[in-house]
Amino acid sequence: MSTSFKTKADSKTVPITPVETAVFNAWLKKEPKDVQAWVRASGFRAKAGEISLFSSGSGVLSRVLLGVENHDGLWDYAGLPNALPDGSYRIDARMSAAGATAAATGWALGCYRFDTYKSGKSKKLPSLVWPARTAKARVKAMADAIGLVRDLINTPAEDMGPSQLAGEARKLGRRFKADVKVISGDALLKRNYPTIHAVGRASDDPPRLIDLRWGKKTQPKISIIGKGVCFDTGGLDLKPAAGMLRMKKDMGGGAHALGLASLIMALKLPVCLRVLVPAVENNVAGNAFRPLDVIKTRKGLTVEIGNTDAEGRLVMCDALAEADSENPDMILDFATLTGAARVAVGTDLAAMFANDDALAADVEKAASKVGDPVWRLPLWRPYRKLLNSKVADINNVSEGGFGGAITAALYLQEFVGEDTPWAHFDIMAWNVSASPGRPVGGEAQGLRAVFEMLEQRYS
């Protein structure tokens, strides 16, 4: 991600004064009369993220007022790069190390642009002097990881198919000296990944399983799975045109897996990491898998295809079974899996399912700390019967339309051992409307929360 920071202030550097909403009136009373007059005239009330530009008598910008909920608020600072004119700025406040790092991270995320396909040049970004006590490496790693997630999701499927997604994983592997292997095409059948092959075989870009490993084998084993459906037509259960408009984002889970891996490796978390991304296109052709086909999964369970548009759980189940075979300390998976999750929690929240209460509690605590919202939904076992099949061990969809996010999670749970702590994140991975630092398009959801949880447990 392109960010804009500088090491030192100069004579032209403009101070940014953060004002907490709760103490606005007390702060204003202590300010010079010209500032008080400007604040009253401009209507500035120090609401979170609110910005007011104050000029000196000569008409030159001399100060920026910024409303913040608190000094640790990441997103309160994220609107500044777009709102401020080109130039150099510094934060004029004493900040804790956590607050300085959050402010710099917000600035960095506010600098994000996806302009690969734009013919003109984007607006030149202003620069922020690194706040004192900022953990610079953390800011850079976080901005890079979230920028990677956004870039992968935003890139059209024509340029981000299974082969290109595998290429991005290899780039990441080279950057951090990780081992990356890719199983492609019919080799998936030989290596016993039948559901990944079945979903992706109708595409001209063959299906793949991306397998990244990093870290020492003696350290805690963390496996991360990401749904990598690079485009989803729905298969023979074809989506309507409106349903396909955002389907380039259906590999958002795979993008999250690679982004989280980037963060873990950049900050050298002491874990033995494995990332598995089944990368496919769910396309339509003469060899496409069909409704009511029965496929034998890697685990040995047979699955009846109730709907070819419920393909994400199919590619995920083989990857989950492989991850579980190594008895990891934890399995985490990310997937743009169900519209039902969006109905339940909306587009901003990551829905979480977990078979381990301690793991779920740690994620929720971390999510609250870093302001990356996650909402736990139940793995309600009585609903498992809704996935029963008359001809196979399990159906990939339930007969009714109720509880769709839960039944999808219950399907995935069949491929994870009872003793393996596992959390599943059903995410939107997309901003449907813009807010400071979060433009319309691909978005990381739950990533910062999960990394915080991992860091608290293992660093």
pLDDT, tens only, 410-432: 999 999 999 999 999 999 999 99
Residue range of the domain that includes 65: 5-131
CATH of the domain at 412: 3.40.630.10
Torsion of CA 382, 384, 390, 394, to 10 degrees: -170
CA atoms within 13 A on the CB side of 267: 23
Based on the domain organization, do 383 and 355 belong to the same domain?
yes
Q: What pLDDT does 123 receive? A: 80
* Closest residue by Cα to residue 252 from 399, 25, 445: 445
Task: Report how many domains make up the chain.
Answer: 2
* Closest residue by Cα to residue 420 from 338, 342, 329, 351: 329
Based on the domain organization, do 208 and 339 belong to the same domain?
yes
Tens-digit pLDDT profile for residues 235-281: 999 999 999 999 999 999 999 999 999 999 999 999 999 999 999 99
Based on the domain organization, do 214 and 232 belong to the same domain?
yes
Based on the domain organization, do 109 and 204 belong to the same domain?
no
- Last residue in a domain, options 131, 166, 190: 131
Based on the domain organization, do 194 and 335 belong to the same domain?
yes
Give the C-alpha separation, 410 to 159, whole Å.
33
In this model, does residue 303 exceed pLDDT 90?
yes
Q: What pLDDT does 70 receive? A: 81
Tens-digit pLDDT profile for residues 68-123: 998 778 999 999 999 999 999 999 999 999 999 999 999 999 999 999 999 987 78
Q: Is there a catalytic annotation at residue 136? A: no
In this model, does residue 1 exceed pLDDT 80?
no
Catalytic residue from among 313, 342, 376, 438: 313
- Last residue in a domain, options 131, 161, 194: 131
What separation in angstroms does the CA of 353 have from each of 76, 333, 349, 412, 450?
Answer: 30, 10, 13, 10, 13
Residue 431 has which token pair? 């901003």
Based on the domain organization, do 125 and 155 belong to the same domain?
no
Based on the domain organization, do 111 and 176 belong to the same domain?
no
CATH of the domain at 29: 3.40.220.10
Give the C-alpha separation, 333 to 198, whole Å.
21
pLDDT band at residue 58 using 50, 70 and 90 as cut-offs = confident
In this model, does residue 310 exceed pLDDT 60?
yes
Q: Which residues pair with 275 in a beta bridge?
A: 212, 224
Tens-digit pLDDT profile for residues 345-386: 999 999 999 999 999 999 999 999 999 999 999 999 999 999
Percentage of residues of the chain with pLDDT beyond 70: 100
- Last residue in a domain, options 75, 108, 131: 131
What separation in angstroms does the CA of 316 have from each of 108, 347, 364?
Answer: 33, 22, 24
pLDDT band at residue 224 using 50, 70 and 90 as cut-offs = very high
Q: Which helix (H) or strand (E) holds 222?
A: strand 221-226
Q: Tokens 């795979």 map to which residue?
A: 254
Q: Is there a catalytic annotation at residue 274? A: no
Q: What pLDDT does 153 receive? A: 98
pTM, 2 dp: 0.97
Based on the domain organization, do 144 and 65 belong to the same domain?
no
Residue 190 burial (CB < 10 Å; 0-12/13-18/19+)?
exposed
Based on the domain organization, do 163 and 87 belong to the same domain?
no
Query: Phi and psi (nearest 5°) for 264?
Result: -60, -45
Q: Which helix (H) or strand (E) holds 422?
A: strand 422-426
Based on the domain organization, do 47 and 143 belong to the same domain?
no
Based on the domain organization, do 85 and 179 belong to the same domain?
no
Residue 294 has which token pair? 């029965």
Mean pLDDT across the chain: 96
Based on the domain organization, do 210 and 320 belong to the same domain?
yes
> 70 Cβ partners below 8 Å, 6+ apart?
20
Q: How many residues does the chain have?
A: 459
* Closest residue by Cα to residue 65 from 75, 81, 55, 52: 52
Catalytic residue from among 239, 296, 369, 384: 239
Residue bearing the bigger pLDDT, 11 or 123: 11
